[in-house]
Amino acid sequence: MKSLTNANEKVLGYFEVSSVDEQRIYFNYEDFFPDELLPPYANGCLFVAPPLRHPPTGKLPLAEAVSSGDFKYVGPNLTMDLQPDFEGPVILVTKSCGDCTEIGKTEAPDFWID
Protein backbone atom coordinates (compact mmCIF):
# COMPACT_ATOMS: atom_id res chain seq x y z
CA MET A 1 0.00 0.00 0.00
CA LYS A 2 1.17 3.52 -0.65
CA SER A 3 -0.07 7.04 -0.17
CA LEU A 4 -1.57 8.66 -3.25
CA THR A 5 -0.33 12.11 -2.25
CA ASN A 6 3.11 11.43 -0.64
CA ALA A 7 5.26 8.44 -1.57
CA ASN A 8 7.33 8.73 1.65
CA GLU A 9 4.29 8.71 3.98
CA LYS A 10 3.59 5.55 5.97
CA VAL A 11 0.03 4.41 5.37
CA LEU A 12 0.02 1.13 7.18
CA GLY A 13 1.17 0.31 10.69
CA TYR A 14 0.71 -2.76 12.84
CA PHE A 15 -2.26 -4.94 12.21
CA GLU A 16 -3.65 -8.29 13.20
CA VAL A 17 -5.46 -10.96 11.29
CA SER A 18 -8.26 -12.82 13.01
CA SER A 19 -11.18 -14.98 12.07
CA VAL A 20 -14.86 -14.80 12.83
CA ASP A 21 -16.98 -17.79 13.69
CA GLU A 22 -20.78 -17.75 13.71
CA GLN A 23 -23.25 -20.22 15.09
CA ARG A 24 -27.02 -20.02 15.09
CA ILE A 25 -28.74 -21.24 18.21
CA TYR A 26 -32.44 -22.08 18.18
CA PHE A 27 -34.56 -22.15 21.30
CA ASN A 28 -38.17 -22.44 22.29
CA TYR A 29 -40.09 -20.35 24.78
CA GLU A 30 -40.39 -23.43 27.01
CA ASP A 31 -36.57 -23.67 27.23
CA PHE A 32 -36.48 -20.46 29.26
CA PHE A 33 -39.92 -20.58 30.88
CA PRO A 34 -40.74 -24.28 31.28
CA ASP A 35 -43.65 -23.89 33.71
CA GLU A 36 -45.31 -20.83 32.18
CA LEU A 37 -48.01 -20.46 29.58
CA LEU A 38 -47.17 -18.82 26.28
CA PRO A 39 -47.66 -15.06 26.33
CA PRO A 40 -50.80 -13.78 24.63
CA TYR A 41 -50.74 -13.11 20.90
CA ALA A 42 -49.93 -9.49 19.93
CA ASN A 43 -53.55 -8.89 18.95
CA GLY A 44 -56.38 -10.99 20.26
CA CYS A 45 -57.77 -13.47 17.76
CA LEU A 46 -61.53 -13.19 17.56
CA PHE A 47 -63.29 -15.95 15.66
CA VAL A 48 -66.85 -15.24 14.53
CA ALA A 49 -69.47 -16.90 12.37
CA PRO A 50 -71.95 -14.14 11.59
CA PRO A 51 -75.32 -15.21 10.19
CA LEU A 52 -76.31 -14.39 6.63
CA ARG A 53 -79.32 -12.38 7.81
CA HIS A 54 -80.56 -11.11 11.15
CA PRO A 55 -84.36 -11.60 10.84
CA PRO A 56 -85.60 -8.96 13.30
CA THR A 57 -83.58 -6.14 11.72
CA GLY A 58 -83.09 -7.43 8.18
CA LYS A 59 -79.38 -6.62 8.44
CA LEU A 60 -76.77 -8.83 6.77
CA PRO A 61 -74.09 -9.46 9.44
CA LEU A 62 -71.88 -11.67 7.27
CA ALA A 63 -71.87 -9.17 4.40
CA GLU A 64 -71.14 -6.32 6.82
CA ALA A 65 -68.22 -8.19 8.40
CA VAL A 66 -66.70 -9.01 5.00
CA SER A 67 -67.18 -5.51 3.59
CA SER A 68 -65.63 -3.92 6.70
CA GLY A 69 -62.26 -5.41 5.78
CA ASP A 70 -61.61 -6.24 9.43
CA PHE A 71 -61.91 -10.02 9.02
CA LYS A 72 -60.32 -12.85 7.03
CA TYR A 73 -61.97 -16.07 5.88
CA VAL A 74 -60.99 -19.17 7.89
CA GLY A 75 -63.24 -21.87 6.47
CA PRO A 76 -66.69 -23.39 6.51
CA ASN A 77 -68.49 -23.46 9.84
CA LEU A 78 -68.64 -27.12 10.79
CA THR A 79 -69.65 -26.36 14.39
CA MET A 80 -73.03 -24.75 13.72
CA ASP A 81 -74.87 -27.45 15.65
CA LEU A 82 -72.34 -27.46 18.50
CA GLN A 83 -72.03 -23.71 19.13
CA PRO A 84 -75.28 -21.76 18.88
CA ASP A 85 -73.48 -18.40 18.82
CA PHE A 86 -71.60 -19.54 15.70
CA GLU A 87 -74.72 -19.63 13.53
CA GLY A 88 -73.29 -18.41 10.21
CA PRO A 89 -72.10 -20.63 7.34
CA VAL A 90 -68.44 -19.54 7.50
CA ILE A 91 -65.89 -18.73 10.19
CA LEU A 92 -64.01 -15.44 10.05
CA VAL A 93 -61.09 -14.23 12.17
CA THR A 94 -59.83 -10.73 12.87
CA LYS A 95 -57.53 -9.48 10.14
CA SER A 96 -54.44 -9.15 12.36
CA CYS A 97 -54.76 -12.81 13.30
CA GLY A 98 -55.58 -14.13 9.83
CA ASP A 99 -53.16 -12.07 7.72
CA CYS A 100 -49.48 -12.19 8.71
CA THR A 101 -48.71 -9.08 6.65
CA GLU A 102 -50.98 -7.02 8.89
CA ILE A 103 -48.43 -6.84 11.72
CA GLY A 104 -45.26 -8.09 9.98
CA LYS A 105 -43.20 -7.63 6.85
CA THR A 106 -43.24 -9.80 3.74
CA GLU A 107 -39.47 -9.60 3.16
CA ALA A 108 -37.33 -12.38 4.55
CA PRO A 109 -35.01 -11.18 7.36
CA ASP A 110 -31.23 -11.14 6.86
CA PHE A 111 -30.75 -14.20 9.05
CA TRP A 112 -33.21 -16.35 7.06
CA ILE A 113 -31.75 -19.56 5.62
CA ASP A 114 -33.30 -20.87 2.40
Q: What is the CA radius of gyration of the chain?
A: 29
In this prediction, residue 10 carries a pLDDT of: 78
Domain presence at residue 107: no
In this prediction, residue 39 carries a pLDDT of: 85
Q: What percent of the chain has pLDDT over 90?
A: 26
Domain count, the chain: 1
Reference 98, options 80, 76, 71; nearest CA is: 71
Domain presence at residue 16: no
pLDDT at 13 over 70: no
pLDDT one-digit tens code per residue, 38-92: 888 777 788 889 988 888 888 999 999 999 999 999 999 887 666 667 788 999 9
Domain presence at residue 114: no
Domain presence at residue 74: yes
Q: What's the chain look like in SS3?
A: CCCCCCCCCCCCCCCCCCCCCCCCCCCCHHHHCCCCCCCCCCCCCCEECCCCCECCCCECHHHHHHHHCCEEEEEECCCCCCCCCCCCCEEEEEHHHHCHHHCCCCCCCCCCCC
Q: Is the pTM of this model over 0.75?
A: no
Domain presence at residue 111: no
Domain presence at residue 55: yes
In this prediction, residue 1 carries a pLDDT of: 64
Domain presence at residue 97: yes
Domain presence at residue 90: yes
Domain that holds residue 86: 41-102
